[in-house]
Amino acid sequence: MSDASVRRRFSDGTTADDLKAYMAPFVERLGYRLNTDEGFVDAVLASELEILAETGDVYCPCRIRTGDAKADVAIICPCIAFHMDEFAALRKCWCGLFIRTDVEDGSSLEGVIETTSGPVDVRVAAYDDLADGQVRHVKIGKRDIALARAAGEYFALSNVCRHAFAPLAEGFMDGSQLMCPWHGWRYDVRDGSTDHPDADVRTYPVTVRDGEVFLRVEL
């Protein structure tokens, strides 16, 4: 691929240290950090720089690009946000460049690529990210979820209103009630119930550990 056909997403001369400085603060917000194996990190980032030179962006070095920009956005590094449930189960991203912050030795996870079925706790926020009365949209795999804080507790429910399919995370909190932004339907964030018949929404278990908020989903 010639330079003329590459649409640059990073400046010419970008280095591994530049990528570290760019990625580390973002992945920290997702509950991850760079692998503790510095040699492994340098090797992965060297591959990233080769991909960057070829394509103009930092696609995951262990996934094959389709050529479809909309599909391939899910494998641009860091791709954690697109694969939160899988990576929570693995405790790392696919290649292992990033590991969960609760992993002490990242080298122990190198080469691990299989996940097991069953429940997994996915880190979705720091406890202080939301104030009481605030709501955030969370995407975990194909799941659209509204994460809400009320009276110091976190709750998670389906993001889709059963009336006209509005995004509940764009709504308004009134105590423990989440009001749909389109027509004001009210959902109790504690159990997903509403006064309208046959319109309750699904909820997800939420726990808080060490100042971080985890949401449990099934793989």
Q: Which of 142, 123, 120, 112 is closest to 219 using CA atoms?
A: 120
- Confidence (pTM): 0.86
- Indicate the domain borders of the chain: 3-104, 122-218
> Residue 78, preceding bond cis, omega within 30 degrees?
yes
Residue closest to 51 by CA, chosen among 9, 102, 23, 88? 9
For residue 157, give the 3-state DSSP assignment: strand
The 10s digit of each residue's pLDDT in 155-189 is 999 999 999 999 999 999 999 999 999 999 999 99
pLDDT, tens only, 66-106:
989 899 999 999 999 999 999 999 999 999 999 999 999 99
Q: Which fold has domain 3-104?
A: Ferredoxin Thioredoxin Reductase (3.90.460)
Grade residue 1 by pLDDT with cuts at 50, 70 and 90: very low
Quickly name the fold that domain 122-218 has.
Rieske Iron-sulfur Protein (2.102.10)
122-218 has the same fold as 3-104: no
String of DSSP letters for 55-105: HSS-B-TTS---S-HHHHGGGBSS-GGGSHHHHHHHTB-SSSSEEETT-S-
